[in-house]
Amino acid sequence: MIELRDLTLTYDRRPAVHHLSGRFEAGSLTAIIGPNGAGKSTLLKALAGALRPSEGRLDRGGLSPRDIAYLPQQASIDRGFPITAIDTVAMGDWSASGLFGAMSRASWRRASEALAAVGLGGFETRTVGTLSAGQFQRVLFARMLMQDARLILLDEPFTAVDQRTTADLLALVQRWHAEHRTVIAVLHDFEQVRSTFPQVLYLARESVGWGPTPSVLTAANQLRARAMAETWAPDAEPCQRGAA
């Protein structure tokens, strides 16, 4: 279980996520939704351990860094480096081999099997710069298969990806859920959320709703989130609630 207690995340002391409390149950499958600038990616970075809370507490339930697999948005990943698909996937085994350790034959075999599992058998020697957006996303999902993590964090994993690839990767997400891994994904497509994700955190810097998808993803909450977003200001004062 991952628990948030009055969690505030800031940039230059200005809150991106504001006094958020709740929990992600172990083995749950949760979509984080909300307007642009709602703090969704910021929260995912904090869950991954890349951003420290400014206030409150984030309890990962004893998870170590090797228990967490984090996939950022594709736009933040540089594909200009000449690395092959199988080398990219093999990087998911760093917890076993170390950052500079030699890969075993078994690890290379697992990397090849992971590529085949996402529909890219035979792509081992292709450089990532030659792949389409959908193919590259499959490679990144294969790397997460190598990590074998207990907590899987996905930031807009289906953006700019074709429908077939999206369907295949959603099936992999459902497989992880069936294996009782905790999966948390930032998404924008409400139909994907309704069809695949049983739990939703509706975020507009503060919680609009958190719970079963049918009770959270409602027209009333959409209006409330939109109204909250319209009050945001880039020059807002630093958070004062914790000092009160």
What are the pLDDT digits (tens) for 12-55? 778 899 999 999 999 999 999 999 999 999 999 999 999 999 99
pLDDT digit string (tens) for 140-198?
999 999 999 999 999 999 988 999 999 999 999 999 999 999 999 999 999 999 999 99
Give CA separation, 234 vs 16, 117, 193, 239, in Å.
Answer: 11, 44, 29, 13
Given a cut of 90, whether residue 239 has pLDDT beyond it is: no
pLDDT digit string (tens) for 89-137?
998 886 555 544 567 788 899 999 999 999 999 999 999 999 999 999 9
Other CB atoms closer than 10 Å to residue 220's CB: what's the count?
Answer: 9
- Walk me through the domains of the chain, giving residue ranges and CATH numbers: 1-63+150-237 (3.40.50.300), 77-148 (no CATH)
Other CB atoms closer than 10 Å to residue 90's CB: what's the count?
Answer: 23
Q: Which two tokens stand for residue 107?
A: 């690890």
Q: What is the DSSP letter of 179?
A: T
pLDDT for res 30: 98
CA–CA distance, 48 with 44 (Å, rounded to integer): 6
Cβ 171 vs Cβ 118: under 8 Å = no
pLDDT digit string (tens) for 54-89?
999 999 999 999 999 999 987 667 777 889 999 999
Reduce the DSSP state of residue 228 to 3 states and report it. Answer: helix
